[in-house]
Chain A
Amino acid sequence: MIDAISMPSDGVGHRAGRISGRSPTLITVFGAGIGILAVLTAFVAMLSIDPSEALGRQSAVDATEASADARLIYSRLADVDSDANAMFLVPASAPASATLRDSYQDAIAAVANAINQSVRHERGSDRIGTISTEFQVYQSVIAKALRLNSDATRDVLAAAYAHEASDYLRGTLLASAQRMWQDESRRVDQARSRGRWWLAVSVAMPLVDLAALIVLQRWLWRRTHRRLNPGLLAATTLVLAVLVLYLTVASHWSTASGRLQATETAVRAENATQIQVGDLVAARAEVYLAMGAGVDTTVHEANFERYAHCDRPSGAYRTLCQDQRGAWDQQQNGNAAQRSGAIARVLPGGLVDQDFTAVSRSLQRTIDAQDVVTRSALSRMPGAPPAVGGPASLLAVLAAAGAVLGLWIRLTDYR
């Protein structure tokens, strides 16, 4: 085979000689470049497998379950805070004391169950370990408070310990539980953004390969009597196949990303309502602290007003705020019988307790409705996408080999 541009002739021959002397070098450089690009494409295809799977339904289910576990722990911890503070409303010798202590023990057991349930999911195990340890610290402070509370002369100190425990639970334990579901939200967000990035790179790489192959083929075509290089042709076909593979699953990525966002929005709404439930339980704990174990009634009253949204009460909250204010007035300004009556209003079964239950039920109905939305969003999540990373990677390697082989043959012709 004689290359037309390498034929010697006067004038034109000199220029052709220079080109002929330069072309093998260029072919070598182009070959190396195409090879590297194709290998990179294969590499990207391999790396995109995990982000792709992270956008599947199972991933969303895992995240939703982990968030639900975190919310359960949060809710149970808030219950413990309320039940613990209720124990300090009445003297240890009072008949109601035993019932309140039983409720506290039940609440402790419920937290343990929630933690155990969460341990079954491997995600967030560090946080669960932390919560478990912090919960032991909390229990030890409450135990100390209860020991002191059994002695009327040490009741003031018992109250201080109870107050410290409540503050620790809300400032440390509830914050840890909240961070658990925030971690899950962050993980899902990262999965979505990583998925988008890898999809873009996975499609961009074959396009770059394709462009490079076409430019190279055209360059050689103009120098070889308009003949196509078979190796480059094969490589182009293989890269096109890679592109088609990605385009077939691109719609999945897009759908999965959108539905994952919808699921995440639904979970966030549930989390927000759960915070309201936590606030409600905190409001109840503040009532107990103000009327029992607290050392600064004014602060606890203000905290109750804040947690129960008494500045702009609506629905069941309005009744709660009114009745609780009445109980405070009765306790602070009434005689001994009225003060006992005020305590009875906030204890289980009392008027204020019933108000709390009404608000709690209202919030639970909201959570139930939001849960339906979450499950619906989950059910619309597509499954894991077809695993195209492996085949795409193989095709890209073959394309690299084809391109290098085609250019090597052309180089051999020169020599």
Chain B
Amino acid sequence: MRNRRALAGFATVLALVLGVGVLGGCAGPEPTLDDPLAALPAGAVFASAGPTAAEDTSCDPRRSLPAIASYRPQSGFLTIGVDQADATMSHWDPVTQTFAGFNIDLVKQIAQSIWPDGHPLDHLHFVVVPPGAGGFDALLRHEVDIVATSLTATCSRGKRVAFSDDTLDSGQSILVRKDASGAPRFDSLAALRGQRVCAAADTTSIDNLFNFGGLRVVRVDNVIDCLVMLEQDQVAAVSTDHNILLGFQGMTDDTIVPDTPSNDRAACSHHDATPCPWVSDEPHAFALRPDDTQLLGFINHVLESPAGRTAWTASHDRWLPEHHDDGDPQPPPPYQSTTWPFP
């Protein structure tokens, strides 16, 4: 009798296990974006899962190493990792056949400070790297010296690379299409629940979208592909740093960054006015190899210097006039510097 009960119990468990397995196997496939009669950017996919853990706040990502007033270069040039499609920060200008943008102006200032004679571009080599943390591999393989994409400094990223002083305070926002009256089709991220929202792989933006919840997140390799998909009505919104979205907005006639307040006080702590549409705090910085402390210190020196500040202001006025940060990020006092959790 006991054996029979044990057998029945075993059979029940086995049936449940098999049943769960079968049900799991029968779960519908993730809807694809494939439509043979519609072009789609390469690599665009529904991202069905993502990190839900809260961002590591064990450090202050705006801090860096103390400034170092001199730097002896190892060679006659610096190799800069850039994002060719970032209109405001580091895009390729086919007319001048060179890179241009806010970050490019800053690295030109750095090159000018290292090599005062000659044109700074003669001392800069540019290599296109993937957006976000995607550029770190090139950095750690010594293919680039500085990653100068639109890059958010975070504590978790600081375990792999070292960040310069904060170069730009920004926040994540959305870009949507306008309706017939010129108003945004969706006025906030909350209004986009259930809709397709596009972001680039390996970015804090896509992590934030997953953590926000309720969105059908579409992942692409390059965030410019999100704009193509928005124009082709394949997604309802693009979500990334506000500085990038401003560049996108300038390229299209029928898109807009809604200014509906996000009610996120932490995200808006470096926004200069209300309403603040930012849903996350995105301190931007250059990324360097953790052992490249001399160059990192010198970059911080340049950013703090009067010439660096002048260059910052001129570049901000040129490339980011509508970006409502609260100005040139103040360098931290020396006693607060360098708490990066270097490996």
A residues bordering B, Cβ < 8 Å? 90-91, 93, 130, 133-134, 137-138, 141, 148, 152-157, 159-161, 163-165, 167-168, 171-172, 292, 294-298, 332-333, 335-336, 339-340, 343
Contact = CB atoms under 8 A, between A and B. Distances in A.
Most B CB contacts (10 A, CB to CB) among A160, A298, A335, A336 go to A160
Given A156-B84, A157-B252, A332-B125, A138 B94 contact: no
B130 A161 contact: no
Most A CB contacts (10 A, CB to CB) among B39, B95, B122 go to B39
A332 B95 contact: no
A156 B249 CA distance: 12
Contact of B251 (A156, A292, A339): A156
A404 B87 CA distance: 91
B241 to A, nearest CB: 16
Contact of A160 (B37, B96, B121, B228): B228
A339 B98 contact: yes
B296 interface: no
A172 B227 contact: no
Nearest to A144: B231
A138 B39 contact: yes
A181 B225 CA distance: 33
A90 B96 contact: no
A134 B42 contact: no
Contact of A134 (B37, B86, B92, B251): B37
17 contacts: A130-B36, A137-B39, A141-B39, A153-B87, A156-B91, A156-B247, A156-B251, A157-B228, A167-B41, A167-B42, A172-B36, A295-B85, A295-B222, A296-B128, A296-B130, A335-B121, A339-B97
A156 B224 contact: yes
Contacts of B129: 298
B248 to A, nearest CB: 8
Contact of A297 (B40, B93, B125, B127): B127
Contacts of A294: 84
B39 A168 contact: yes
Contacts of B94: 90-91, 152, 155, 292
Contacts of A148: 251
A137 B92 CA distance: 27
B60 interface: no
B258 to A, nearest CB: 20
Contacts of A165: 39
Interface of B: 36-42, 77, 84-87, 91-98, 121-122, 125-130, 138, 221-222, 224-225, 227-228, 247-248, 250-252
B234 to A, nearest CB: 11
Contacts of B247: 156
Contact of B225 (A160, A333, A339): A160
Contacts of B221: 296
Contacts of A339: 97-98
Nearest to B41: A164
Given A137-B39, A167-B42, A168-B39, A154 B228 contact: no
A339 B85 CA distance: 19
A152 B100 CA distance: 12
Contacts of B36: 130, 134, 172
Contacts of B224: 156-157, 159-160, 295
Nearest to B36: A172
Given A161-B228, A339-B98, A156 B41 contact: no
A221 to B, nearest CB: 66
Contacts of A141: 39
A155 B99 CA distance: 13
Nearest to A343: B97
Nearest to A160: B224
Given A138-B39, A157-B252, A335 B122 contact: yes
Contacts of B251: 148, 153-154, 156-157
9 closest A-B pairs by beta carbon, nearest first, are A168-B39, A167-B42, A297-B128, A295-B85, A160-B224, A295-B222, A157-B251, A154-B251, A339-B97
Contacts of A340: 97
A258 B41 CA distance: 46
A340 to B, nearest CB: 6
A90 B94 CA distance: 7
Contacts of B222: 160, 295-296
B38 A156 contact: no
A153 B253 CA distance: 12
Most B CB contacts (10 A, CB to CB) among A130, A168, A296, A335 go to A296
Contact of B84 (A134, A152, A297, A336): A297
Contacts of A134: 36-37
Nearest to A155: B94
Contacts of B85: 156, 159-160, 295
A320 to B, nearest CB: 22
Contacts of B228: 157, 160-161, 164
A137 B37 contact: yes
A160 B41 contact: yes
